[in-house]
Structure 1
């Protein structure tokens, strides 16, 4: 093997990990979520932008506010999940850049003075961080159920009324329940994906 991770870690994070559709009622603590974040915050983003923002949906009232904006196939499992996280991109991430990217203090104005450029960069780097977050959930011994089947405009208005955030994904989190998995879908092989020039 040429990977530094042992086989058990590879299985936990990738080979045996699946998108969960049902969960047990075992709660997910704030300490578990902080441990997840404290691990994945070290993963790279362009110029250390870190645009990801996370809203933990815990109260029944907030859960109902979220569920009303989900596609029909996502409503029941989200209503029943132990924890739901709304992952969003902060389109005003550049305000933090002087502290987060001290090697180039003028980066805030040099690259991100125009809103469309900020939104594009926040969406791309936020999507990277969504992937890291899912891997972090798996590293905590939990299952993630990421979803994009929702009314984005509705969620943005409901939870981010300031207009500065854009939802990227909604993720159910917990211990997998009964019949949690759909059959494993096929993956493309190396030769179908990788070319050398």
Structure 2
């Protein structure tokens, strides 16, 4: 079992950051994040997430043009913004990723299954990305508030990938955090049957 410090890093003390310190995130750290997150469970090992790590000023400007006004400065000042996409043709990789049965046939021609599987499992992988980033000492700022069509055209043109959500990565300025918001209790959110 993880010790309390590790649990605090991943969950209890982790916060959504909006303001970033001027401290870079290395390409090696981005590789490390992926090498951790790729082991997270997905249905039939489908792993539909496709990630674009936006670091350069030019690409940040391009992404900033796709987000809502309240997210522009967040994108421009974060060291990295991860665009978590979902490959709508993920099932083409299933002969490699799930070789012990013909899982590809479960999806060919079944658009509803493709869409729900891609969305659900890329969302899981996005959460794994955030946990991996926190595990290596980075902070996260996941966001909605963007024009999905613009992001798809700007970053995924000519592919079967569509954006799911975006997440800033870096070293958050803890002095600029809002007070922590409450959470629902176990009794309010769960039941054991």
Indicate the residue corresponding to 1:49 in structure 2. Answer: 46
Tell me, in whole angstroms, the C-alpha distance in 2 between the residues paired with 1:98 and 1:124: 20
Tell me, in whole angstroms, the C-alpha distance in 2 between the residues paired with 1:21 and 1:179: 11
In structure 2, stretches of 5+ residues that fail to align are none
Q: CA RMSD in A?
A: 1.2
Shift in Å, 1:39: 1.0
Q: TM-score when scaled to structure 1? A: 0.94
Shift in Å, 1:163: 4.9
Query: Does residue 158 of structure 1 match 2:115?
Result: no
Structure 2 counterparts to residues 4-153 of structure 1, below 5 A: 4-104=1-101, 106-153=102-149
Task: Figure out how many residues of one structure are paired with residues of the other and give that number.
Answer: 193
* Partners of 2:91 and 2:107 within 8 A in 1: no
Tell me, in whole angstroms, the C-alpha distance in 1 between the residues paired with 2:159 and 2:149: 10
In structure 1, stretches of 5+ residues that fail to align are none
Shift in Å, 1:87: 0.7
**CA displacement 1:74-133 (0-9 Å, x = unmatched):** 1012101111111100111111100100111x1101334323321221011001111111
Tell me, in whole angstroms, the C-alpha distance in 2 between the residues paired with 1:78 and 1:150: 11
Query: Does residue 169 of structure 1 match 2:161?
Result: no
